[in-house]
Amino acid sequence: MSYLCRVWGTFTIAVLTVVTLGVTAATAQVGAMKDGWLVMKVHSEFVNEDLLGGSNIDVDVKNGVVTLQGTVTSEAARARALEVARKNDGVKGVVDQLRIAPPTSNKAERAADKAEDTMDKAGDKTASAAKKTGRAIDDGWIKSKIYAQYLADWNTVLDDSDIDIDVSNNMVTLSGTVKSAQAKAKAVSIAKGTDGVKSVKDKLRVASTR
């Protein structure tokens, strides 16, 4: 009887261990998905923040804690970036690693301004008004804009993605993971179609489904 109890006890522990490991893995997967979604969500909130013009912010999220790195142009811009990040559902905390630096000159912004002048002279007031809405086109805006567009596709092909976007002189580099070749193609296509983007370097990997 004692032997049977020991065997049954060992079997019960084994089953509980497997179940626990399964729950832990599932929880980790959900957490990773939520973190990736939050990166896109925070960036999407930055797109139309005029105070963040000239900023180039990186957003990293781990277990709901957001870390902001990169540059902003003033203390007011820093405070606004932190406030915008904190207000998002699911954010447990925000770590400030932002630096204050002057905005870098940007060819896309100058080109957009020149195009606006041309449109004004042609009497295209509607297009001119659209140009004046939101932030100017610069590297930081391009990064946030791409993430915002990815967010719109989160529930279709880009769910479970963990994409890192780097923008330098309007040239985009995509790295990280996506769940399928279709998601990879979609991510690259969105980036290429974003205003101001000169080129896109694809370093994305299709994550194993095993």
Please compute the mean of the pLDDT values over residues 67-76 and round it to a whole number: 97
With 0.75 as the threshold, say if the pTM is over it: no
- pLDDT at residue 160, rounded to an integer: 84
* Pick from 99-103, 132-136, 154-158: least confident: 132-136
User: Between these two residues, 25 and 70, which has the higher pLDDT value?
Assistant: 70
- What average pLDDT does range 53-80 have in this prediction? 96
When pLDDT is averaged across residues 9-38 and rounded to a whole number, the result is 49
The number of folded domains in the chain is 1
d(CA 87, CA 48): 16
Q: In this predicted model, which residue has the larger pLDDT, 117 or 82? A: 82
Digit-coded pLDDT (tens) for 107-140: 544 444 444 544 444 444 433 433 444 678 999 9
Considering the chain, what is the average pLDDT of its residues?
A: 79
d(CA 197, CA 22): 42
pLDDT above 60 (res 162): yes
45 versus 106: the higher-pLDDT residue is 45
Which residues are CB-neighbours of 161 under 8 A, at least 6 positions away? Answer: 36, 150, 154, 176, 177, 178, 179, 183, 187
Question: Which domain, by its residues, includes 174?
Answer: 2-206
